[in-house]
Amino acid sequence: MTGRRLTSLVLLTAAVLAGAAGCGQSESEEYAERVEEARDLAADEARNVAGEIAAQPDTDAMAQTLGEIESRLDGAVADLEALDVPEGASEVNADHVAAIEDFSAAVKEARRTAAEGQRVWFRKATTDLLRAASTLNSELSAIQSEAQQAGIPIDPVQSRE
């Protein structure tokens, strides 16, 4: 288990325990915190993907790194799908899931082409991946604005690093 994933699980557990202890958060505030954790993890992956790929010495290492990123993104989606979504937040939650899944699909395609050693196709997949990373960040900002308008107190994207 990677450090980021372990940190995510610890934070998720802490959020659940704090909620169970009745620390005074409203349902929408608790929901917003948990969404922010999953969303910020995905945003960090998008922000760092170019450097992660460039740091790898060959396509096998790139495929492994991309597989790890894909796994963390899948975890973020699973966390979002497991949430008890408060009234009025269903669309916001679905939009977060869809945005992260779209980015994850680009990661998966880049991983597949790297694993197959298809250098020419990997370059195209990497270009598509970087475009998807940019798109994810734009979509997350738009979703955050929609959430605020719907009365869901989701803060802007924050770096988890």
Give a yes or no: residue 157 inside a domain.
no
Q: Which long-range contacts (CB under 8 A, 24 or more apart) does 54-58 make?
A: none
Give a yes or no: residue 77 inside a domain.
yes
The structure tokens 């993907």 sit at 49
pLDDT tens digits, one per residue of 107-154: 999 999 999 987 778 888 889 999 999 999 999 999 999 999 888 899
Give a yes or no: residue 78 inside a domain.
yes
pLDDT at position 56: 84
Averaged over 46-51, what is the pLDDT? 91
Give a yes or no: residue 93 inside a domain.
yes
CA–CA distance, 38 with 5 (Å, rounded to integer)? 10
Give a yes or no: residue 156 inside a domain.
no
Question: Does the reported pTM lie above 0.85?
Answer: no
Bigger pLDDT: 52 vs 161: 52
Reading the block at residue 150, the tokens are 């719907």
Look up the domain containing 128 and give its range.
Answer: 3-149
The string over 106-132, giving b where at least 16 C-beta atoms fall within 10 Å of a residue's C-beta and e elsewhere, is bbbbbbbbbbeeeeeebeebbeebbeb
Bigger pLDDT: 152 vs 103: 103
- How many C-beta atoms surround the C-beta of residue 78 within 10 A? 11
- Whole-angstrom distance between the N-terminal and C-terminal Cα of the chain? 17
CA–CA distance, 72 with 66 (Å, rounded to integer)? 10
- Number of domains into which the chain is organized: 1
Give a yes or no: residue 40 inside a domain.
yes
Q: Nearest CA to 160 among 7, 10, 31?
A: 7
Give a yes or no: residue 43 inside a domain.
yes
Give a yes or no: residue 159 inside a domain.
no
